[in-house]
Amino acid sequence: MAKNSKKVNKVQLCIDRDFTISKVDERIYGSFIEHLGRAVYEGIYQPGNKFADKNGYRKDVMKLIKEIGVPIVRYPGGNFVSAFNWEDSVGPKKDRPRRLELAWGVVETNQFGLDEFMDWCKKVGTKPMYAINLGTRGIDDARNVVEYCNIKSGTKYSDMRIKNGAKDPYNIKLWCLGNEMDGPWQMGHLTAEEYGLKAGRAGHIMKLVDPTIETVACGSSSLYMDTFGNWERIVLENSYDTTDYLSLHTYYGNAEDDTPNFLASSVAMDQFIGQVISICDYVKAVKRSKKTINLSFDEWNVWYHSNDQKVEKWSEHPHQLEDIYNFEDALLVGSMLITLLRHADRVKIACLAQLVNVIAPIMTSDTGAWRQTIFYPYMQASVYGRGEVLNTVVKVPTYESKHGDAPYVDSVVLCDEENETLTIFAVNKDLEDDYELTCDLRQFAGYKVVEHSMLTHKDLKAVNTEKKPDNVKPVDFTKASKVEKGILTSTLPAKSWNVIRLAK
């Protein structure tokens, strides 16, 4: 990592308690469960396993999900949803059909479906973000599934739900209008105009059934799609009035084993968000609308370790896309979380993809469940990243990367006035040097450091396994931070994720 001549191992955070970006929408800490690999079967659901409850839900997995405090879970896909018939997944299990699942080349048994997912959400303490099929199906099916989920009784599909054992409506408030419909790999792939019209019509008819719901239209599945930009514009031009959020998806990898460029990927993420916001606001201006479209970054993560995994065609829930995350992956996940928070005025929903086994922070075997390295920044951001995001100016040297100039330190400060706490998230991406952090807190008289948690490891490639689940985990580093005469000083060790918490 070549350092510029101005490099001085110091980073200054500049904040003002009245200069805020936005209050954090807790849904920014959401996640994702798709019928893919072992995410559902052997992940959250495994009847007969020693950890399963009477419904087949893995209790050890539920415990870890509750530790994170996941506020919302996107389901059932993903690419899976674009050829999915929701009716297959409700009613008596003995009557549910086995289907060829074309997106991932496996067999779907439908033994876990919509009804089980809603029951599981209640038990785990999360809310649903339900995706509909706008690939091989259409607006009539969209209407029907909203009726099944959200109408109390007295209609065909609401009475079907009651017959299936759910007396009370599910009241799902957040709905994804398909998945990655810009992608040629998608079942029922559409052009931007075709999809925009279809999404607009689906959103309209769904809101006639339940006017209280919110909808997420598909944006680009990557910044690097040839259709990026024009896709967003055309989709919104055809669906603006019935759309509440536009989605973004991105994944980063380090296949070239170039850690500095890998850790700079958060710069690309920041650019992606800014560009999509600009397009949304352009369409708003053209339409002379008073409505603002916010963003749902409902797939984001590191993903590249499992690219070479092979699965047997038409097998059931094989080991598929099971990235084993290392320490440097956790650093980037921390920086990506900071990037999302720095755009909290427009990014209201985000989903780490995914939650269990498939590119996930939680892994399972028949004999246990454990935390991957990326679990920790995700969990700590979800637990402590509440309140208002302060406009955080980070004065720190930068280095050149393929994404542009990248700061050696990513950071953001949050203020929770109600609980009188301050939280600082910081990633030191320098692989060799510590940084001395300072922040003027004289506006926060009486605030003291209560905890500094730090995640680091001498080996960037270090991983957690079932046999060594604590190989990479945070340690108490509170001795490194203090407030004197209103000035916070702290040490950010080389290659580290840091959570500094202060309270009055």
pLDDT digits 0-9 by tens, 389-404: 999 999 999 999 999 9
Answer yes or no: 256 catalytic.
Answer: no
Q: For the CA atoms of 232, 235, 239, 240, what is the dihedral angle to 10 degrees?
A: 20
Rounded Cα distance, 139 and 75, in Å:
19
329 HSE (CA, 13 A, CB side):
29
Amino acid (one-letter) located at 335: S
Nearest residue to 414 via CA among 457, 371, 383: 383
> For residues 35 and 89, is the Cβ–Cβ distance under 8 A?
no
Q: Is the pLDDT of residue 418 over 70?
A: yes
Q: What are phi and psi of 144, to 5 degrees?
A: -65, -40
Contact (Cβ atoms closer than 8 angstroms) between residue 297 and residue 347 = yes
pLDDT in tens, 188-198: 999 999 999 99
Query: Half-sphere exposure of residue 190, counting CA atoms within 13 Å on the CB side?
Result: 25
**77 vs 84: CA distance, rounded Å:** 9
Catalytic one among 42, 87, 116, 299?
Answer: 299
Q: How many residues does the chain have?
A: 504
Give the N- to C-terminal CA distance of the chain in Å, as an integer: 39
CA–CA dist 433, 455 (Å, integer): 15
Q: Check whether 202 has a pLDDT greater than 50.
A: yes
Strand positions, DSSP E, 214-342:
214-217, 245-252, 294-302, 315-316
Which domains are assigned to the chain? 10-18+392-503 (2.60.40.1180), 25-384 (3.20.20.80)
* Catalytic annotation present for 299: yes
Position 310 scores a pLDDT of: 86
Neighbouring C-alpha atoms within 13 Å toward the C-beta of 327: 21
Q: What is the pLDDT of residues 239-288, one digit of tens each?
A: 999 999 999 999 999 999 999 999 999 999 999 999 999 999 999 999 99
Element (H, E) at 108: strand 106-108
Q: Are the CB atoms for 247 and 218 separated by under 8 Å?
A: yes
**pLDDT tens-digit map of 60-73:** 999 999 999 999 99
Percent of the chain with pLDDT over 70: 98
Which residue is catalytic, options 180, 232, 328, 388? 180
pLDDT band at 150 (very low <50, low <70, confident <90, very high): very high
pLDDT value at residue 160 = 98
For 78-92, write each residue's pLDDT tens digit: 999 999 999 999 999
CA geometry: angle at 183 spanning 190 and 250, to 5°?
Answer: 140
What are residue 421's phi and psi, to 5 degrees? -130, 155
Rounded mean pLDDT of 377-388? 98
Contact 369, 59 (CB under 8 A): no
Helical pair 192-209 and 139-150, crossing angle rounded to 10 deg: 30
The C-alpha atoms of residue 199 and residue 243 are separated, in whole angstroms, by 8
**DSSP notation for 329-386:** HHHHHHHHHHHHHHTTTTEEEEEEE-SBSSS-SEEEETTEEEE-TTHHHHHHHHHH--
Instruction: State the Cα angle at 495 between 492 and 499, rounded to 5°.
Output: 45
Confidence of residue 309 (pLDDT cuts 50, 70, 90): confident
Give residues with Cβ within 8 angstroms of 24, minimum separation 6.
341, 344, 385, 386, 387, 388, 389, 414
pLDDT, position 6: 41
Count each helix (H run) and each strand (E run) in the chain, helices first: 10, 27
The per-residue pLDDT for range 33-46, each reduced to its tens digit, is 999 999 999 999 99
CA distances from 465 to 239, 374, 447 (A): 46, 13, 39
